């Protein structure tokens, strides 16, 4: 298979498996998505979706959020882990939104990345899922699968994003990054991986990965 055929195979397989693509984090607008994505760092989406309703019942917009103290936010989000950093981030970005953006989440990668606790990946998720702007935010699942599929060298998340954007057509990015995440969770996990169920890796997988798997 040529690289182009591999890319087409990935896109076609994922479209068959996930014609409807659920969004992993529950939210109702760009602000609640931004907070949810920030909370999801080193925490499962399932756990985040259990905590955000409690937080958003008290504050689902930046104006109400800054009425809470960092300590109060920290207490609510504690189950998500890294709560000291995340609570300061949520409070800090809410304050910036109110002071500099009239409480409206800006539709810009550059602006989003100036907010506390918001990195490139978080900005990408918000731009993609809240505003429909093409982005390819790379999480651990995408990084692992792109390497398994021999579509990147796995050197860094930045390299994986670069390769994904180079290989996949721009109009596919917003759906595709979510489809890869769902596929990774369901068929190609880091632990408890069954190659028989993982049709994409089985078909186009990196030789060294398949060899390593065969040793098990």
11 and 79 share one domain: no
Q: What are phi and psi of 27, to 5 degrees?
A: -160, 165
For residues 73-99, average pLDDT: 98
Position 216 confidence tier, pLDDT thresholds 50, 70, 90 = confident
Contact 174, 135 (CB under 8 A): yes
Place of tokens 């936010």: 73
pLDDT at 95: 98
Position 13 confidence tier, pLDDT thresholds 50, 70, 90 = very high
Position 164 confidence tier, pLDDT thresholds 50, 70, 90 = very high
Using the 3D structure, point to which of 114, 131, 148 is the last residue of a domain.
131
pTM surpassing 0.75?
A: yes
- 100-135: pLDDT as tens digits: 999 999 999 999 999 999 999 999 999 999 999 999
34 and 114 share one domain: yes
62 and 110 share one domain: yes
pLDDT for 79 beyond 90: yes
127 and 141 share one domain: no
144 and 91 share one domain: no
What's the domain range around 76?
30-131
Q: What is the DSSP code string of 163-194? A: HHHHHS-GGGHHHHHHHHHHHHHHTS-SSS--
CA dihedral angle for residue 142, residue 43, residue 115, residue 95, rounded to 10 degrees: 150
141 and 175 share one domain: yes
Using the 3D structure, point to which of 131, 157, 172 is the last residue of a domain.
131
Contact 133, 112 (CB under 8 A): no
Contact 195, 213 (CB under 8 A): yes
pLDDT for 203 beyond 80: yes
98 and 148 share one domain: no
103 and 167 share one domain: no
Percent of the chain with pLDDT over 70: 100
For residues 90-104, average pLDDT: 98
pLDDT at 187: 98
Using the 3D structure, point to which of 97, 131, 165 is the last residue of a domain.
131
pLDDT at 67: 98
Contact 142, 178 (CB under 8 A): no
35 and 124 share one domain: yes
What is d(CA 138, CA 89) in angstroms, rounded to the nearest whole number? 21
Q: Structural domain tally of the chain?
A: 2
Q: What is the CATH number of the domain that holds 202?
A: 1.10.1670.10
For the annotated catalytic residues, the residue numbers are 121, 139
191 and 172 share one domain: yes
- Please report the sign of the dihedral spanned by the C-alpha atoms of residue 2, residue 193, residue 49, residue 75: negative
162 and 81 share one domain: no
122 and 151 share one domain: no
Q: What is the CATH number of the domain that holds 79?
A: 1.10.340.30
């Amino acid at each position: 298979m040529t690289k182009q055929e591999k890319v087409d195979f990935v896109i076609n397989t994922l479209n068959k498996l996930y014609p409807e693509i659920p969004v992993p984090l529950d939210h109702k607008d760009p602000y609640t998505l931004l907070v949810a994505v920030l909370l999801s760092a080193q925490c499962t989406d399932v756990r985040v979706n259990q905590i955000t309703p409690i937080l958003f019942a008290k504050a689902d917009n930046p104006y109400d959020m800054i009425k809470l103290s960092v300590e109060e936010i920290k207490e609510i989000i504690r189950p998500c882990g890294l709560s000291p950093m995340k609570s300061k981030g949520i409070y800090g970005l809410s304050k910036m939104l109110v002071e500099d953006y009239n409480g409206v989440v800006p539709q810009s990668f550059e602006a989003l990345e100036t907010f506390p606790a918001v990195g490139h990946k978080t900005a990408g998720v918000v731009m993609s899922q809240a505003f429909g702007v093409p982005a390819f935010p790379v999480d651990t699942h995408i990084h692992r699968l792109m390497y398994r599929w021999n579509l990147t060298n796995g050197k860094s998340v930045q390299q994986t994003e670069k390769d994904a954007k180079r290989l996949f057509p721009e109009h596919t990015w917003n759906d595709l990054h979510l489809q890869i995440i769902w596929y990774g969770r369901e068929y190609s996990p880091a632990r408890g991986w069954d190659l028989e169920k993982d049709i994409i890796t089985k078909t186009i997988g990196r030789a060294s990965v398949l060899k390593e798997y065969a040793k098990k």
